[in-house]
Amino acid sequence: MSSIGHKPGPEYPHRVEAIIEIPRDSRNKYEIDDDSGDVWLDRMLFTATRYPANYGFIPLTLAGDGDPIDILVLMDEPVFPGVHVWARPVGVMEMRDEAGPDAKIMAVPYGDPRWDQIQDLDDLPALLRSEIDHFFEVYKALEPGKSTETSHWGDRARAHELLVEARHDYKPAPPVVPKRRANER
């Protein structure tokens, strides 16, 4: 994803910019094109499961799978793909898929009083954590060559640690310099 207009901000990693790709309750898996910013339908989930939260990524980060670090923003309503949301990380689910480590930062909307009581992982309802676990254990189950394995949950401090690492590992792409034509010399 282009870094134009994105800044981690002075409160990072306590407040992060999340760019939503997939709305809560969707079976459609959308991806945002790195170059154009266009939203593309990547595929529909093969299973009868739906995303348990608004799912996206944190720009200016690089996770172990070579993509920006993933984030689930727990909200009452679905959010359109491409919308930017300020979020407050409260924990992390560490897992693996066929591409390697694939941590999912758990967050709540920043400044929303309905979520003020959620400060750390232990504040999330156990049933919600079980639903998220179950989703990531099975959502790729019917797709050939794909697999997932949930590992463990980490608290807010672990989420912050992963966010700092992912920010440190991010290296902006070099600018594209247009080639000069022979007659432009």
Q: Which residues are catalytic?
A: 102
Residue pair 102/63 in contact (Cβ under 8 Å)? The answer is: yes
CA separation for the pair 170, 159 (Å, rounded): 17
CA separation for the pair 52, 68 (Å, rounded): 20
User: Burial level of 113, CB count in 10 A (0-12/13-18/19+)?
Assistant: exposed
Among the listed residues 40, 37, 39, the one whose alpha carbon sits nearest the alpha carbon of residue 4: 37
CA separation for the pair 34, 63 (Å, rounded): 15
